[in-house]
């Protein structure tokens, strides 16, 4: 099907409100995350392109529940009292059950616009037409660009598959986990409407990786399973006020292995979606026999604060934040001025990192967790919500029937506010290099449960191969910074 149409394929790129995601996507890859240049796919026997997919198309007929009384001579079914019309064919965002030639939607005329709706011209055969050469030329150019993108994406897949055979990823990496005791804390803040109201949440004990998931860990998954992220684009920072929306970021070529995003195996993996993170965690769960997942929003809250009620979870002094994390600081500002033409602004401190850095480079919080502030924000299990009204108070993930976006917690290395309870969001298949990653959470049994101060909350101090290799990477990063400072 993907030879003939731009459909909701595997993997889909972005979840949006109004799209029914309860049905499966089409089991192929058309290399097109959104709408695409018309005529980019194969035509049917009449020479017509995009008869399914790309956009659903408005027709002249009024909406009706069935075909009873429909004209039989081929004319449009119209009425003076008509208040709704028909969209035919599935679009780029429609699920598998809608990608059919005969699929139709009855849409009220009062709906002004749709992300999935378009139309095409139809003329009686007796009418003469003339070819608009500029129009045809522009379409041809867009089609050629799309063909080049397909070739680039396929080359990326081939390159990743070939490269994965040479990766020396070592033994299965499951970092030592830190036990977070059961407890209560106040969640939310008054800084924005999205973070209100402040409410008390109780959380059961769980285990969490002290570090954000690294490039090397994700490499192991890809090498073991052949999991390939076929999209060769992700969101990235561009020039200040640049990009198609004039907001300083846009979708551009790149993936989780792009050197700018993954300068070492011990940097946090980015350009991975919520779906990618969950695929990795499902594989790791099966490989280890453990129950692993992204954190719930409430677990992210209690682990970040670690009993500290200050704004940043490590105090209220901005100047001390660079001791605890890779945040939006003087080094980051210099990089954005140099690389993205930003206007320089004074910053409170300098953490020594321009973009992401090796995980665990800064001081841990009271629970022994690193990078609670900065480096990358982290995917959670929870659906994104407008605010905290109606949020669970028992520590469970907030999952709703129509879950179009997933929540992220924490700030990243770039242009983000710095706050321990900062929230972001993204579609489940949305990929970004602007500071989004994830970390591993492990469920623990009732017998292992603990409360603050209990002996069974103490994790045995042991050095794994992961710890030893990470320590070497951290040492090398600190030596690099000393050389930079000396120059």
* pLDDT tens digits, 168-212: 777 787 888 999 888 887 777 777 777 788 888 888 889 999 999
Residues 438 and 394 placed together within one structural domain of the fold: yes
CB-based contact 302:183 (threshold 8 Å):
yes
Residues 339 and 467 placed together within one structural domain of the fold: yes
* pLDDT value, residue 305: 66
Residues 373 and 232 placed together within one structural domain of the fold: yes
Strand partners, 253: 233
Residues 119 and 179 placed together within one structural domain of the fold: no
Give every CB contact of residue 239 below 8 A, 6+ residues apart in sequence: 248, 340, 341, 342
Residue entry with tokens 């045809």: 136
Residues 178 and 251 placed together within one structural domain of the fold: yes
The whole-angstrom separation of Cα 451 and Cα 184 is 11
CB-based contact 211:360 (threshold 8 Å):
yes
Residue 371 lies in a domain: yes
Count of domains for the chain: 2
Residue 128 lies in a domain: no
Residues 195 and 111 placed together within one structural domain of the fold: no
Single pTM value for the model: 0.72
Residues 175 and 152 placed together within one structural domain of the fold: no
Residue 129 lies in a domain: no
Residues 356 and 392 placed together within one structural domain of the fold: yes
Residue 278 lies in a domain: yes
Residues 389 and 317 placed together within one structural domain of the fold: yes
Residues 209 and 146 placed together within one structural domain of the fold: no
Longest Cα pair distance anywhere in the chain, in angstroms? 88
Strand partners, 432: 235
Residue 70 lies in a domain: no
Bridge pairing between strands 183-187 and 56-62: unpaired
Residues 328 and 430 placed together within one structural domain of the fold: yes
CB-based contact 301:201 (threshold 8 Å):
yes
DSSP 150: H
Strands (E), 63-182: 84-88, 104-108, 117-118, 178-180
Residues 298 and 321 placed together within one structural domain of the fold: yes
The whole-angstrom separation of Cα 471 and Cα 40 is 50
DSSP 455: G
The whole-angstrom separation of Cα 291 and Cα 354 is 35
Residue 132 lies in a domain: no
Which structural domain, as residue segments, surrounds residue 110?
Answer: 1-63+82-123+137-157
pLDDT by residue (tens digit) across 388-400? 888 888 888 888 8
Q: Which of 269, 279, 263 lies closest to 234 in space, CA to CA?
A: 269
Residue 69 lies in a domain: no
Digitized pLDDT (tens) for each residue of the chain, 487 residues in all: 777 777 765 443 333 333 334 445 566 666 666 677 888 888 887 788 888 888 888 889 898 888 888 899 888 898 888 888 888 887 877 766 676 777 888 888 877 566 778 898 887 765 555 556 676 777 788 778 777 777 777 777 777 777 777 777 777 878 889 998 888 877 777 777 777 888 888 888 899 999 999 999 999 999 888 887 756 778 888 898 888 778 888 888 788 988 888 899 999 999 998 889 999 999 999 999 999 999 888 787 776 666 666 667 677 788 888 998 898 899 999 999 999 988 888 788 999 999 999 999 999 988 899 998 889 989 999 888 888 888 888 888 888 877 778 888 888 888 766 665 566 777 777 788 888 899 999 988 765 666 655 665 656 556 778 888 899 999 999 999 888 887 7
Residue 72 lies in a domain: no
> What CATH number is attached to the domain comprising 461?
3.90.1580.10
């Amino acid at each position: 099907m993907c030879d003939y149409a731009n459909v909701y394929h595997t993997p889909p790129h972005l979840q949006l409100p109004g799209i029914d995601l309860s049905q499966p996507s089409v089991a192929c890859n058309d290399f097109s995350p959104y709408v695409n240049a018309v005529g980019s796919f194969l035509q049917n026997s009449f020479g017509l392109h995009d008869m399914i997919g790309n956009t659903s198309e408005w027709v002249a007929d009024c909406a009706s529940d069935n075909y009873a009384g429909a004209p039989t001579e081929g004319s449009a079914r119209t009425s003076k009292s008509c208040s709704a019309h028909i969209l035919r064919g599935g679009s780029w965002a429609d699920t598998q059950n809608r990608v059919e030639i005969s699929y139709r939607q009855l849409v009220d005329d009062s709906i002004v616009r749709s992300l999935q709706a378009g139309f095409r011209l139809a003329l009686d055969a007796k009418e003469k037409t003339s070819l608009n050469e500029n129009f045809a030329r522009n379409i041809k150019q867009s089609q050629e660009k799309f063909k080049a993108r397909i070739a680039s994406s396929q080359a990326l897949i081939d390159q990743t598959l070939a490269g994965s055979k040479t990766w020396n990823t070592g033994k299965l990496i499951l970092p030592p986990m830190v036990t977070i005791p059961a407890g209560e804390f106040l969640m939310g803040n008054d800084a924005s409407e999205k973070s209100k109201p402040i409410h008390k949440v109780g959380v059961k004990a769980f285990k969490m990786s002290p570090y954000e998931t690294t490039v090397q860990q994700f490499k192991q998954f890809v090498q073991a399973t052949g999991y390939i992220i076929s999209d060769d684009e992700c969101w990235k920072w561009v020039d200040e006020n640049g990009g198609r929306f004039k907001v300083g970021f846009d979708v551009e070529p790149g993936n989780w292995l792009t050197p700018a995003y993954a300068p070492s195996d011990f940097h946090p993996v980015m350009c991975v979606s919520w779906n990618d993170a969950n695929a990795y965690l499902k594989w790791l769960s099966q490989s280890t026999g453990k129950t692993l997942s992204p954190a719930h929003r409430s677990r992210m809250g209690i682990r970040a604060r670690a009993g500290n009620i200050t704004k940043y979870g490590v105090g209220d002094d901005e100047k001390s934040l660079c001791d605890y994390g890779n945040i939006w600081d003087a080094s980051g500002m210099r990089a954005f001025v140099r690389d993205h033409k930003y206007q320089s602004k004074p910053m409170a401190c300098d953490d020594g990192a321009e973009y992401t850095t090796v995980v665990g480079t800064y001081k841990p919080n009271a629970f022994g967790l690193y990078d609670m502030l900065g480096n990358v924000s982290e995917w959670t299990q929870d659906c994104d919500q407008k605010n905290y009204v109606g949020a669970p108070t028992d520590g469970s993930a907030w999952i709703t029937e129509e879950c179009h976006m997933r929540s992220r917690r924490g700030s990243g290395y770039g242009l983000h506010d710095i706050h321990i309870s900062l929230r972001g969001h993204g579609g489940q298949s949305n990929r970004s290099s602007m500071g989004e990653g994830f970390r591993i959470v492990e469920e623990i049994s009732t017998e292992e449960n603990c409360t603050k101060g209990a002996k069974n909350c103490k994790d045995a101090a042991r050095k794994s191969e992961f710890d030893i290799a990470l320590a070497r990477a951290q040492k090398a990063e600190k030596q690099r910074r000393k050389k930079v400072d000396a120059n």
